[in-house]
Amino acid sequence: VLSGCGVYDGTEIHEASAILVHLSRGGAEVQMYAPDVPQMHVVDHSKGQPAEAESRNVLVESARIARGKIANLAKLTTADHDAVIFPGGFGAAKNLSTFAVDGKDCKVNREVERVLKDFHKAGKPIGLCCISPVLAAKVLSGAEVTVGHEEEEGGKWPYAGTAGAIKELGGKHCVKEAVFSLIPSHEAHVDTKNKVVTTPAFMCETELHNIFDGIGAMVKNVLKLTGK
């Protein structure tokens, strides 16, 4: 499930690409979705600032990552899929929810909330990375998720405050590493009760291959939980 195209106002492209590579390697068939709604705002990524008087559509922008093969999120059903995965990027906190503005008092897009609740009720796994675990924390009370560490540690974890917000949302935060480890639990957290799998990804300032490997651990565990 995508949230636009670009880290500051949509889906983090490296994360989406990594997820797709690992799903492909795992033999999964993939269908991409996005809500047909306006973006909260448009950010000029060369300046890191909002572009005034410009508007874009989340579904239309997400189609860039999907190479045009994308559907309206309203069409996503549990009957057609074994699992659902949400990449990160600020679009998850701006377009799929209002977390970027409202924090613990945020609202989640109606279709996103429906999808999360439907997959949870059906006992089908949900994967999330980077900032997107806040969606599960908000919608699935008591879900265990990770966004990495709970302290900034000199800038290594610049978004560490999100861990506290997850607790305020009603979720349980578990400290995990973003870097590759021989111990899979150091990369992704698996909430076996709720079948929610999360990994920090770009919540950490680390090398790209570490993020790629951490996402791989998340995808591997999601596929494992499908039982196929």
Residue 2 domain flag: no
Q: Calculate what percentage of the chain has a pLDDT beyond 90.
A: 93
Q: Which has the closest alpha carbon to 223: 8, 1, 27, 16? A: 27
Residue 109 domain flag: yes
Residue 7 domain flag: no
Check residue 184 and give its pLDDT.
42
Residue 5 domain flag: no
Instruction: Say which of 5, 129, 130, 204 is annotated catalytic.
Output: 130
Q: Which has the closest alpha carbon to 120: 172, 56, 193? A: 193
Name the average pLDDT for the chain.
Answer: 95
Residue span of the structural domain in which 135 resides: 13-226
Residue carrying the six token digits 């990449």 = 87
CATH number at residue 221: 3.40.50.880
Question: Is pLDDT at 140 greater than 60 in this prediction?
Answer: yes
Number of separate domains in the chain: 1
Q: How far apart are CA 125 and CA 115, in angstroms?
A: 11
Residue 6 domain flag: no
Contact assessment for residue 129 and residue 198, using Cβ atoms and an 8 Å cutoff: yes
129 carries an active-site annotation? no
**pLDDT grade for 177, boundaries at 50, 70 and 90:** confident
The tens digit of pLDDT for each residue in 187-221 reads 899 999 999 999 999 999 999 999 999 999 999 99
Residue 178 domain flag: yes
Residue 221 domain flag: yes
The tens digit of pLDDT for each residue in 46-75 reads 999 999 999 999 999 999 999 999 999 999
Residue 8 domain flag: no
* Predicted TM-score of the model (pTM): 0.96
Query: Using DSSP, how many helices (H) and how many strands (E) does the chain show?
Result: 8, 10
